[in-house]
Structure 1
């Protein structure tokens, strides 16, 4: 079986890291050879015919989902990775509860973005536009539903080298439950960001060698600045979304995967508008202030990397945990791989590939959506959520960890 290449710390198993060029090149060469030799076991007849059909599981909330994209330009600062770019340009996808389903389903990503993402993973044996044809559950022409100032807002940040679309299924889930969701593409930090004028920027940061803790802390700080700017553009005096009046400005939170999860810590430390945060399988280099962070925080990851007392990445969570002074949980999903907390865990299986997970992609997504939704329902809506209080018979894969005792149960 072939494995999708993950961007992880050399010698490690997870977190917002990039593998060495030499090791990554060897892995891609091996994967390409397997593809060429026909060694993959297709997930379906469509995959075998060279025309894979991929789709996102339907959200479980009661409301139809609408979506649209926003182009934002921050002229107050240059781009942190391309100094010749005098302004920071961002693409943001919004999802929201809709009054009724629309007629036009949203495209998962552009064909060019699909081509570059598959190429980055060494999946050159698949049609280049495979992921752009992924069926989503949101509609681009759907009218938003809700009363003014009634909908909580959740900002999402993807992993390093990954586009914002990797968190689409989570975004659709939250929107179907009555949230506005804003996923940010951090330009030059992922394999492809497509702009309305036809430009496609690629991953400048991926080509930087020798990334150490200070570099990753810089990335987290830069993403925190992106998030604060996006909040300004959504709920400021001149909002860029015509339906921004639906957002309840007192109920805003953030979640992210890998580098995006780490950036959630940095963003919450820098911006008090963020009332709660979730880190999905991301090692953290940001150092919280001595006074700590009193707002709710959820750490959700895989045991291979984040079992307390077991390795460098777990140590970064322990450092964060010690300065979280409010409500907090440290949960691990048995059998999960790094991609299990994103759409990629589902799509990989549909393409007949593996990512090293022992838990099926759809089940891992169910678990992720359930716990993230419960967390936000509890801390943005004040609804009791027993799922977060103790292990659940319905979610036996999830263990609750006590880092002080170095135990999980």
Structure 2
């Protein structure tokens, strides 16, 4: 979080608290509650808020909802009071102090979204196409969900970004023949985790499908508006893994289970897209696909999912792993050690690493899945983003510096980190999926 963003959130909280404290001091001196003065102050505050919003200085979004409602209610009550011309009530310190404390706590509460999700300017896509987006939820009738008490079939939601005649939701798709990129998010992530990446690719002539791995995403909004939250059992287990509480063969079996779910999701989505692309009655966005050109990518566990699909699906042309451990390369566990695949990786693959991850991989050498794959592959590429942390390969450090700082980022500038990531993703897919541009170096440190 920048100092400017922090100061905005703190400044609003302090400003509102000062209004409350000044009113308390005034009332205590006058021995009566100055409702008239307070009403005028809140009406003025609301008027200023509206002016800043309509002029675009305040970028209206969910982080402003609490403040907007508070200001509107306070202003409305003020107008009602002024119209009634009621006499001021007697000031009673015993009631005024709790009321002041409650007001300050309320001001702090409604300011929290500005601290956690400050205003930010999205990264500008470099391509020439306007970008549309739409959401689909498909049901896999061959699998049970596994997370619900009932034997429900598994539902998988996918958001698609595509070249459009105008920007926006459900905008008309442009006619053309566009390659496909399929994305899988990391643990606790969701389909919007790399929104800037999807916008970058779609603006440059790709159709991008980002999957929500239902129950492993922290939140899934299905096409009909139904909200499904992440499964607490999965979240708790993933935290145990992160803290080193699960290891050895137990960890291997757990990763097998997770990968089975995610890879089945990704394979199902790709099959659905192929089926839709071959139908004359499908949504127009699928009829503009060049289904012979496919790239897959993902962040963290999603990168491992993409890498697995690259091995299993002959139609995939290229794979990108954003700071993930390639769990699919671990094919067994014997004598207290992981058994790694020795079969050469069959596709061009790019691994992007944060600095610490890459250093640890180099130290482990071919005992680490990623490095064993790299040593055996004919077209494996590595890129290290200097100063990056694990979440610098997602949009979270831009959208919420506060949350990203708590969860783990490096000192690299958040916008530089994602601009670098998106540029590498586009460059790699352009060369190996579109067949344009020039080959990238085998290793880069940026």
Q: How high is the TM-score relative to the length of structure 2?
A: 0.65
Q: Is residue 309 of structure 2 the alignment partner of residue 267 of structure 1?
A: yes
Report if the CA contact (8 A) 1:64-1:176 is conserved. Answer: yes
Hey, what does 2:292 align to over in structure 1? 250
SS in structure 2 of the partner of residue 69 of structure 1: strand
Report the equivalent of 2:37.
Answer: none
| Shift in Å, 1:61 | 0.9
Q: Verify: 1:140 aligned to 2:179, yes or no.
A: no
Note if 1:223 corresponds to 2:262: yes
Q: 1:386 to 1:277 in 2, by over 3 A?
A: closer
Q: How many Å apart are 1:253 and its aligned residue? A: 1.1
Question: Which gives a bigger RCO, structure 1 or 2 (Cα 8 Å, sep 6+)?
Answer: 1
Deviations 1:350-401 (A, max 9, x none): 889574411100000110011110000000111232554665xxxxx52xxx
Within-5 A mapping of 1:160-309: 160-204=187-231, 205-208=234-237, 210=246, 212-236=251-275, 237-238=278-279, 241-287=283-329, 290-307=342-359, 308-309=361-362
Give the distance between the partners of 1:74 and 1:240, measured in 2 at CA.
18
Tell me if structure 2 keeps the 8 A contact 1:300–1:332.
yes
- The whole-number CA distance in structure 2 between the counterparts of 1:365 and 1:314 is 30
For residues 74-125 of structure 1, the C-alpha deviation after alignment (integer angstroms, 9 at most, x for no partner) is 1111124447343110111100111233xxxxxxxxxxxxxxxxxxxxxxxx
Alpha carbons 2:185, 2:299 under 8 Å: kept: yes
User: Residues of 2 paired with 1:212 and 1:351: CA distance?
Assistant: 27
Contact 1:56/1:343 (8 A) holds in 2: no
Q: Quick check: 2:355–2:389 contact (8 Å CA) kept in 1? A: no
Superposition deviation, residue 195 in structure 1: 2.2
> 1:173, 1:336 → 2: CA distance?
20
Do the aligned residues in 1 keep the contact of 2:162 with 2:285 (CA within 8 Å)?
no
**Displacement, 1:306?**
1.9
Q: How does 1:311-330 map to 2 (within 5 A)?
A: 311=364, 315-324=368-377, 326-330=378-382
Matched, 1:43 2:1: no
Structure 1: give runs of 5+ residues left out of the alignment: 2-39, 102-138, 392-396, 399-409
- Aligned residue pairs total 315
Task: Report the CA distance shift for 1:196/1:251 in structure 2 as closer, same or farther (over 3 A).
Answer: closer
Q: Equivalences for 1:392-403 in 2 at 5 Å?
A: 397-398=445-446
1:366 and 2:419 are equivalent in the alignment: yes
Residues in 1 aligned to 2:175 and 2:366: alpha-carbon distance in whole angstroms: 41
Q: How many Å separate the matches in 2 of 1:56 and 1:47?
A: 19
In the TM superposition, residue 232 of structure 1 has moved relative to its aligned partner by 1.6
1:122-158 C-alpha deviation (Å, 9 max, x unpaired): xxxxxxxxxxxxxxxxx114221132xx100000111
Write the distance in 1 (CA, Å) between the matches of 2:261 and 2:214: 11
2: CA distance, partners of 1:365 / 1:201? 28
CA distance in 1, matches of 2:4, 2:256: 40
Relative to its length, the structure with more helix (as a share) is 2
Correspondence for 1:382: 435
Give the conservation status (yes or no) of the 8 Å contact 2:392–2:409. no
Counterpart CA distance in 2 for 1:89 and 1:336 is 34
Tell me if structure 1 keeps the 8 A contact 2:365–2:372: no
| Deviating more after overlay: 76-85 vs 63-72 | 76-85
Residue pair 1:46, 1:53 contacting (<8 A) in 2 also: no
In structure 2, the CA distance between the partners of 1:358 and 1:166, relative to structure 1 (3 Å rule), is same
Contact kept in structure 2, 1:257 and 1:341, CA below 8 Å: yes
Q: 1:297 to 1:219 in 2, by over 3 A?
A: same
Name the Cα RMSD after superposition: 2.7
Which of 387, 393, 407 in structure 2 is aligned with 1:335? 387
Match of 2:344, SS? coil
How far did 1:304 drift?
Answer: 0.3
Residue 59 of structure 1: aligned partner? 125
